[in-house]
A and B are shown apart, each in its own frame.
Chain A
Amino acid sequence: MSVKATKEEKEKETEEEKLPEDLDLKVKKYLRGGAANFDDLKDKKLKGQLSHREFLYGASAKAAAKYEKWLMPSEGGYLEADGPVEKTWRIKQEDIRREVDISSSRNQHDVILPEFSPYTLDFTSNGQYMAAAGRKGHLAIVDVKNMIPRREIQVGETVRDVVFLQDQSFFAAAQKKYTYIYGQEGIEAHCLKDQGAVLKLQFLKNHFLLASINKFGQLHYEDVSMGAMIGNIRTGLGRTDVMQVNPYNAVVALGHSGGTVTMWKPTSSAPLVKMLCHHGPVSALAFHPNGRLMATAGKERKIKLWDLRKFEVLQTLPGHAKTLDFSQKGLLACGTGSFVQVLSDFSGTQNYSRYMNHSMVKGYKISNLLFRPYEDVLGIGHSMGWSSILIPGSGEPNFDSWVANPFETRKQRGEKEVHLLLDKLPPETIMLDPTKIGTVKTARKKEKSTKKEIEAEMEATVEAVKEGINMKKKTKGRSKPSKKLKKRQEIIAKAKRPFLEQQMHDGQLTIKKQKISEEVALPKSLQRFARKKAAT
């Protein structure tokens, strides 16, 4: 009996040891970064308090990781091929339809509306409603969960883009001359005349900011809760219709015809980042939800994946893409012509490869691709209407009711709107690294280096300059040795100048007064006996 008991104990021990291996990754996710280092702290009380806090953080992350298996019951979708011969990208939508249950197969459909082509789509954050805008003036709000069109209006002029505001009760449409905001019943609520003829709209959910880029390349931020203009930035880089918001830090990125991608925040007139991405114009842009990965497509048939921390290319893929979109789980959809390609980084390695393909009827030109949140569905807006196809494994299976609830009731929607307004972020909080809020700003102290250090620096620069001098070979008697020497001395003096100016500014150096030579001090009759300095 006792032997059995010890065996059970050993099993329990091994089980407990096994758990941490699985949990480690999950715990890392909840820890939000590494632990702080308290070795330099001299205050013992503060050290004790902070290490206790760190312990609590670790404990809460562990608890969250442990309870995941009860809190998040649903597992995501997947598509796996049988054997090495079958490839996932050869699997067609019809094949998937046969294998999947009826409610999912309802998500696969095509809506053909050839008169108001081409269509732009937008989804609400819970994936319950879709706004579709046909270029020839058709605006429609569709309840995609139950496949019921809620409101349709015909505005009678060109509509270039449509975007939902905080939820399905308001949406903004970029029309021919101005941007209009419509209410739930399709009634025009506001006409925003400041923005001009807008090409693309984006909504920053946490800040209630409507960002728009117009024909002249002006980026305009409007606070829709107050109705005030927050920023109007003249980018100076020309007309562009490639605009995306980075969901991680709410920074707006524009892709320009010179191949540059610029990132903006509403409070500064200069871009935060300006990076040269492609040799030709940038045709599409998309951000991964974790904020560290950016996909850009250029007209020179290249799709590049960038690491946004180091601003380096991670991967270059061949192909055109008129539109790009990342799903919640990190799948990348690229659309050109009538062909959609979905790429996936299997097991999170950030190495993207083919996952699924879908070709539509030959005449259809894809204008807009958008993944539906919390569902395995990809919405395609094209020249003959809109379609939706199934991409297993693209949506987040477990939603949080307080963040986005696909089963929202009317009351819950109203309460959520109030909470969103209460938590509305001021536009000053938009920055490249959003985790900097609440941290200590290191004060920049102007270090006054000692005299020796300055001299050493000066000598070092002079040495560097001396090595780098390349004298040009001049003809017609212009390259005499004396002239060459003079030129050399000029270059060295130029290199020394900033240090001497700094020293003068600090007051350490004063113009040396010329010593009255001995010659002059002596009376005239004795001057010929004065010691003359040897010529240097």
Chain B
Amino acid sequence: MKVKTISRSTDEFTRERSNDLQRVFRNYDPKLRPQEKAVEYVRALNAAKLEKIFGRPFVGAMEHNEAISCMAKNPNHLKGIFAGSEDGDIRLWDITSRRTVRKFPGHRGAVRGLTASTDGSRLVSCGADCIIRRWTVPVEDSSEDSVKPEDFHISKNAYWGVDHQWKGDQFATVGAQVDIWNHTSNAPVRSFQWGTDTVISVRFNPGHPDLLATSASDRSITLYDVKTTIPIKKLIMQTKTNSIAWNPMEPMNFTAANEDGNCYSYDLRKLNEATMVHTDHAAAVMDIDYSPTGREFVTGSYDRTVRIFRYNGGHSREIYHTSRMQRVFCVKFSCDASYVISGSDDYNLRLWKAMASEQLGVLLPREKKRHEYDEALKNRYKHLPEVKRILRFGLGTLFLVCIKVYTYQYESSFSPLLLCTGLDTGTTRGHTWCTRVSSSAQGHWR
């Protein structure tokens, strides 16, 4: 007879020394894991809840002396952002420490446009005082606090915006007409005009360096090529477009932020029909910027909110608002796609996380794996009603139900609706910065 039984020797299955790691043995057989789908579902539910609990997107604020009218990113320096305000004050902010690195004084009126050159060494600003100024962005070591302008040009009409080519030496300013400038020239190299209305915004195409799109106050979007003398195409919409952003990963697509609260995505080859309409804002959308991944864009609106949309999503993924933040005039997505910066009417630049529940900093490989697992779980079960509700509306809906019961029991004078508006997490799909009222209520029910 041949016999063998399972006999496990302790040394094979336990660690040798106390400073070794514990030994782990795996058997992936599904037989050992009964009800694994239910366990996965419970873990997905917990992951969705944790995402909402850790959703604290506000990082910090940077203050100016007046309302902020425009911002510019420097593609060669992740940490810095240029911001210009309505009193002519231009500052270079260090995002990590949230302090002003340099000031660029000189403009007397509102700064309407800011842009950095391709190599990041030069800054161009234009303002309502009809002046374009060129500055050299100082290197870190230099000790000067404020920078003197390199050059300036005065014109007859106020400027409304400026943008620099992604690859090249030219930049465009818009106001009464579209002017193309060189860094060396004193006068515009080329001028375009189609119609008599003011042109209010301009953006160069990231893929084709000579192509640019502008929007004018006659509700139009016009495409120009810098090399030609005549404009290419004009699209007239029902309401004015405040700003345009090109998708850096798909340069034939651009999204226009419109006065009617919608954002319209177009393919430049087929302008007769929008590829996507992104609706969610309640008032005019003032500014729009794409993430460097090309998968998301951020919009700032007159209705005091900042929303993040997926590039092909009809509705916003995320909404950021605060009682302290007033009309949002400009937004930028940071160059590492982790942050969103909004400049608003209340003199503040606000720094928000692009993914509200993201853990910042260096992650341990185990933490990374766990986050990836949670994301995969949420993706798999996001269509189930409980998980869907938490991902869309947040945990506040759970407390909404509890508080409604509370009011009916105690016959409070407050109607349930009034109480609920105090809980921002319940009514909106987003995050508030100041959640003192709601967090205490949450603490109470937890």
Contact = CB atoms under 8 A, between A and B. Distances in A.
A361 interface: no
Interface in A232-290: 247-250, 289-290
Contacts of B380: 438
Nearest to A376: B5
B37 A72 contact: no
B27 A437 contact: no
Interface stretch (B7-15, B254-262, B301-309): B7-15
B35 A79 contact: no
A187 interface: no
A95 interface: yes
Given A72-B27, A407-B10, A422 B46 contact: yes
A249 B43 CA distance: 18
B33 A76 contact: no
B275 to A, nearest CB: 14
A40 interface: no
A78 B7 contact: no
Contacts of A289: 31, 34
A159 B384 CA distance: 45
B37 A400 contact: no
Interface stretch (A99-107, A163-171, A310-318, A497-505): A99-107
Contacts of A101: 7
B382 to A, nearest CB: 11
Interface stretch (B18-26, B238-246, B291-299, B394-402): B18-26
B2 interface: yes
Most buried by B among A82, A392, A395, A400: A400
A412 interface: yes
Contacts of A437: 37-38, 41
B32 A79 contact: no
Interface string A375-409: 11000000000000010100111111111111101
A171 B34 CA distance: 22
Interface string A67-86: 00001101011111110001
Contact of B39 (A30, A86, A249, A423): A423
Interface string A400-442: 1111111101001000000000111110010000110110000
A64 interface: yes
B41 A429 contact: yes
A82 B5 contact: no
B370 to A, nearest CB: 12
Contacts of B34: 206, 247-250, 289, 291, 434
A104 B5 CA distance: 7
Interface in B335-367: none
A148 to B, nearest CB: 15
Interface residues of B, number: 37
Interface in A137-159: none
A99 B22 contact: no
B28 interface: yes
B274 to A, nearest CB: 19
B139 interface: no
A434 B37 contact: yes
Given A79-B1, A250-B34, A398-B27, A375 B6 contact: yes
A91 interface: yes
B324 interface: no
B381 interface: yes
Given A78-B2, A407-B10, A250 B384 contact: no
B181 to A, nearest CB: 44
B381 A395 contact: no
Nearest to B28: A64
A74 B6 contact: yes
A71 B26 CA distance: 6
A76 B29 CA distance: 15
A400 B30 contact: no
A426 B42 contact: yes
A461 B179 CA distance: 86
Most buried by A among B1, B33, B41, B42: B1
Contact of A423 (B13, B31, B43): B43
Contacts of B7: 100-101, 103-104
A291 B5 CA distance: 26
Nearest to B24: A401
Contact of B35 (A250, A375, A438): A250
Contacts of B38: 206, 425, 429, 434, 437
Nearest to B45: A426
A91 B1 contact: yes
A424 B46 CA distance: 11
A77 B6 contact: yes
A248 B25 CA distance: 23
Contacts of B4: 77-78, 100, 392
Contacts of B1: 79-82, 86, 88, 91, 95, 99
B3 interface: yes
B32 A100 contact: no
A29 interface: yes
A323 B191 CA distance: 96
A392 B109 CA distance: 91
A74 B8 contact: yes
B368 to A, nearest CB: 19
B26 A435 contact: no
B379 to A, nearest CB: 11
Contacts of B23: 401, 407
Contacts of A400: 25-29, 32
A191 B169 CA distance: 83
Contacts of A429: 35, 38, 41-42
A27 to B, nearest CB: 12
Interface string A43-73: 0000000000000000000001000000110
Nearest to A403: B32
Contacts of B9: 103
Contacts of B13: 406-407
Nearest to A411: B22
A249 B23 CA distance: 31
A438 B37 contact: yes
A413 to B, nearest CB: 12
A106 to B, nearest CB: 10
B5 A412 contact: no
B42 A403 contact: no
A402 B32 CA distance: 11
A96 interface: yes
Contacts of B10: 407
Given A401-B26, A438-B384, A290 B6 contact: no
Contact of A30 (B3, B30, B384): B30
A513 interface: no
Contacts of A103: 7, 9
A76 B42 CA distance: 34
Contact of A100 (B3, B24, B26, B384): B3
A133 B349 CA distance: 70
Given A400-B27, A407-B10, A407-B14, A206 B35 contact: yes
Nearest to B46: A422
Contacts of A100: 3-5, 7
Contacts of B35: 206, 248-250, 425, 429, 434
Given A247-B34, A400-B26, 5 more contacts: A72-B27, A76-B6, A206-B34, A429-B42, A434-B35
15 contacts: A71-B26, A78-B3, A80-B1, A95-B1, A100-B4, A206-B34, A390-B5, A392-B3, A395-B6, A397-B6, A398-B27, A399-B27, A402-B24, A434-B38, A438-B41
Interface of A: 29-30, 32, 64, 71-72, 74, 76-82, 86, 88, 91, 95-96, 99-101, 103-104, 107, 206, 247-250, 289-291, 374-376, 390, 392, 395-407, 409, 412, 422-426, 429, 434-435, 437-438
Interface of B: 1-10, 13-14, 22-35, 37-43, 46, 380-381, 384
Q: Which 10 A-B pairs have the closest CB atoms?
A: A429-B38, A400-B27, A376-B5, A77-B5, A80-B2, A398-B27, A104-B5, A437-B37, A99-B3, A401-B24
